[in-house]
Every structure is written in C-alpha cells, then in structure tokens.
Amino acid sequence: MSEEKRKSLRKDGIRIEALTVPPLSNNVYIVYEDGSDSALIVDVAEGSKQILKRCRELSVRPALIVNTHGHSDHTIEDQALRELTGAKIAIHELDAYRLATEDEASFELGMEKVPIEADIQLVSGQEIPLGRSSKFTVMHTPGHTEGSICLYQKEAGILFSGDTLFARGYGRVDGSGSDPDAIVLSLKQLLELPPQTEVFPGHGEFTKIENEQWLKEITEA
Ligand SMILES: [Zn+2]
Ligand SMILES: [Zn+2]
C-alpha cells in the first residue's frame, strides 16, 4: 500500500495532523497545542516513520502515544516509535494485555508481533494534559474491544473515537473481547456529547456527532 494522505487542522489553538497509513488505512493523529513542542500521538499503526518525519517538520516531539484500543493494526509500531522518541505508551487498563498478545488483525495480516508493555494504563475519566492549557479526557467506550476508549476535548469539541465510532458506522463487535450490548451503551454516551463535536475516527472520514443520526435509532432500540 502506498497511500499517503495527510490533513492539517486547527481548532481553538489545538492542532491536529491526520495521517492515513497502512496496514488498514488507519488514521493516526499528531495533536499539539499552538506554541508547544510536545505532541500527543493517537494510535501509531504502521506509521512510526511518517509520524516521526511529520513531527520533525512541525518541530514537535512525540511525548505520549495513546492507543484508542489494543488491536494490532493500531498498535503494531508503538514500540518502534517509543524507541525512536522516548514517548510513553498509554492504553486503557482492560486492553493493556493486547499489546503482548496476537489478535485477529495480527493473524490476518501476518504481522510479526513483539510483545510490549504499556507505560501507563488508563482509566475512565482520566485527564491527559496537552501543552500548557489543554487536556483530553479518557472516555471508556467498550464494545469493539473491552478497553476501547475515546479521547474527548470539551472546549474545542474534539473527539478521537478509534473504532468505536466511524462516519456512518462503528467497529465490528464479533471479535474476541467484543460486546454488542456494550457498544450500544458506548454510542449512547457519544450521542450525549454536543452535536457539533468533531469526530476523528480510527478509519475513514471525519464526521460530527450531529451528522450521525443513525446513533439515535440504534441507541433507542
Ligand atoms: Zn479495532
Ligand atoms: Zn481498526
């Protein structure tokens, strides 16, 4: 795959660089505050080199890698990026074991997986500081996996949703650790966010909560 897509956005002083990288057209994000050189990386996928290159161009350094969940397609180059930059790796406590275990993605894609350990195990409601004045809040949104999270920035109205919410859909809930009942409750939580919240998913196009009207139907059923 030679796809290389890139988008730069700025919202209320928060900068988001989105890259789409292999193995499964994964969206990975470099997030930083205006004037700060310390970046949060949301998922790495097979993008460690592109992330590093882009960070150098932007004069920021990856300080923390947050995984939206533990599937190998999202985490496979966490260790490579940690080694290159010294960034810490964070993941929800319930998905932490996945960093050291094979899964559907690693089997299907024939990935060679080196077991690693997270530096930080996240819990719901935990705050992740960004730059001098911003912070993201960890929302535990199980369903796709037991430890899937979304990262929410209330003031700027930004949500990184991993595989919990896509434009016009959500991640599969038939894998190991999936829970079809839990995803409904998680999507319900997301539906309660302000309608204008911008959503940056783990795959596919960006969206807004208000554009995902199907959420109402699925959560009312
Ligand atoms: Zn996934
Ligand atoms: Zn995925």
- Measured in Å, residue 89 CA sits from the centre of ligand 1 at 17
Ligand nearest to the CA of residue 103, numbered in listed order = 1
| Residue 3 structure tokens | 């796809």
How far away, in angstroms, is 59 Cα from ligand 1 center? 30
3 has a pLDDT exceeding 90: no
CA angle, 138 then 126 then 148, to 5°: 35
Rounded CA-CA distance 159/149 in Å is 10
CA distance 217 to 107: 34
Residue 81 contacts residue 44 (beta carbons within 8 Å): yes
Q: How far apart are CA 78 and CA 174, in angstroms?
A: 25
The pTM (predicted TM-score) of the whole model is 0.96
What are the residues whose beta carbons fall under 8 Å from the beta carbon of 207, sequence distance 6 or more?
A: 166, 167, 168, 198, 199, 201
Annotated domain spans of the chain = 5-220
Q: What distance in angstroms lies between residue 154's CA and the mean position of ligand 1's atoms?
A: 24
Are 19 and 54 spatial neighbours (Cβ–Cβ below 8 Å)?
yes
Which ligand has the shortest distance to the CA of 172? 1
CATH of domain 5-220: 3.60.15.10
Taking only the tens place, the pLDDT of each residue in 28-71 is 999 999 999 999 999 999 999 999 999 999 999 999 999 999 99
Residue 145 CA to ligand 1 centre (angstroms) = 7
pLDDT digits (tens, 9 = 90+) for 119-169: 999 999 999 999 999 999 999 999 999 999 999 999 999 999 999 999 999
